[in-house]
Amino acid sequence: MRRKKWVECRHCNSGRPAARVLGYLCGGCLKQKFRLAEEVAEAAHRRSRIFPPFSPPRTPRGVICVFCGNRCQLGEGEDGFCRLRYCSDGKLVSRAGTARIGLGSFYFDPLPTNCVAEWVCPGGTGAGYPKYAYRPGPEVGYQNLAVFLGACSFDCLYCQNSTYREMAKKGEPLLTVEDLVNSLDERTACICFFGGDPSPQMPFTLAVARRALKKAEGRIMRVCWETNGNLHPRYLEPMVELALASGGVIKFDIKAWDDDLHRFLTGVSNQQTLANFRYLSRYFDQRPDPPLLVASTLLVPGYVGKRVVAGIARFLADLNPSIPYTLLAFAPCHLLDDLPLVTREEAEECYHVAREAGLTRVRLANLHLLR
The torsion angle over the Cα atoms of residues 116, 122, 124 and 127, rounded to 10 degrees, is: 110
Classified as helix, coil or strand, 126 is coil
Tell whether 12 is in a known binding site: no
> Phi-psi category of 218—alpha, beta or left, where left has phi over 0 and alpha has psi -120 to 50?
left
82 is in an annotated binding site: no
Nearest to 223 by CA among 235, 236, 239, 237: 239
242 contacts 249 by C-beta, under 8 angstroms: no
Q: Rounded to an integer, what distance in angstroms lies between the CA atom of residue 320 and that of residue 150?
A: 33
Residue 149 backbone phi and psi in degrees, to 5: -95, 135
Annotated ligand binding at 190? The verdict is no
Residue 181 three-state SS: helix
Q: Which residues pair with 225 in a beta bridge?
A: 193, 250
Phi first, then psi, for residue 17 (nearest 5°) are -65, 150
SS3 (DSSP) at 49? helix
CB of 279 within 8 A of CB of 250?
A: no
Annotated binding residues: 152, 156, 159
Annotated binding residues for [4Fe-4S] cluster: 152, 156, 159
